[in-house]
Structure 1
Amino acid sequence: MVNRKVRILVACGAAIAQSSMLQMMISSYLDKKKVSYDIQKCTFYELQNKIQAWNPDFVYTVGQPPFQMREGLHHDGMSIFTGVGRDKTLAELYDMIQKLEA
């Protein structure tokens, strides 16, 4: 497992309701798993600059972002948001965290 804080960025159109819920659900899950993390949220408009400035390990979005991201960075957060497939998606996140390099 990585020995640093995992950086997660969540985004949606307005960075109000949907990304806030996504942020809360991911944070709650990672707290239970005792994972050290930083999580931030932003709008789709801010997303590209935020990725360049902050270099997150993972980006979760509710909706399709307006540009293509490198493979392995972007993940669809809709299942976490709606609850349909939430457990599977969060377990996949945890597995990916386990494989991160320091």
Structure 2
Amino acid sequence: MKIYDEKNKKMVVVQQCDVCGESVKLQVNDVQLRDGVLSANWGDASSVGGNVYHLDLCHDCFKYALSALREKRRSLAMFNEEIDLPDEDFGRIDRPAPNNK
């Protein structure tokens, strides 16, 4: 959830978790980082009729959502040997190395 400046409607002054209301900013060594986003954009042909979802998540709520998805995958794989169990990197995409010039 984004809260905008009253005078400048394009400037976000506070960004809160859509689940718990905490800040989605994470402070690491005096650097403020943005936390998780969960989003989906379902096409018109899907059963949800073109709905678009966007949730800003704090660190704890993102970890909770990821944990719930890992558990769902484990339950599906429990009796199906063709499904690999998720590891610690489940859902993670490697970021390219910073370009140090």
Instruction: Give the TM-score normalised by structure 1.
Output: 0.26
User: In proportion to residue count, which structure has more strand?
Assistant: 2
User: In proportion to residue count, which structure has more helix?
Assistant: 1
Instruction: Give the TM-score normalised by structure 2.
Output: 0.26
